[in-house]
Structure 1
């Protein structure tokens, strides 16, 4: 399978979200390192895997291993 890697800005343009929202709210809450994004060569730069992000967006209902928290967030068990 060929993966499409996107920067935060490229992802923001595709899904019509602000890049800051992705960095501050979605990263590490919805998008998980190693599944939705990688840090190539152990660096600071983040590349999102478009096919996995798109699959996550199209999924209906909560994740089966997501535990809701009182503040509205979720814990990925």
Structure 2
């Protein structure tokens, strides 16, 4: 993917950008709204998580339907 630049953010940096608490991102959004391989990666197979800002922003702008939100609670 030549020419494609991604912005990688830690949970704390993402928290500052989207105005959500880092704990909310870890406990509520990760793996229910933000998915590994789409919205975040674990570089070098480690524990550290880096969020791909462009993918997160794209998902936020598309928005979630009410049905998506209801299903995530169940």
TM-score, normalised via structure 2 length? 0.84
* Superposition CA RMSD, Å: 1.6
SS class of match (2:73): coil
Which structure: greater strand fraction? Answer: 1
- Which structure has more relative contact order (CA 8 Å, sep 6+)? It is 2
| Unaligned 5+ runs, structure 2 | none
Which structure: greater helix fraction? Answer: 2
SS class of match (1:52): helix
- After the TM superposition, list the runs of 4 or more consecutive aligned residues in structure 1 that deviate by more than 2 angstroms: none
Aligned length: 68
| Unaligned 5+ runs, structure 1 | none
Q: Which residue of 2 aligns with 1:48?
A: 51
TM-score, normalised via structure 1 length? 0.81
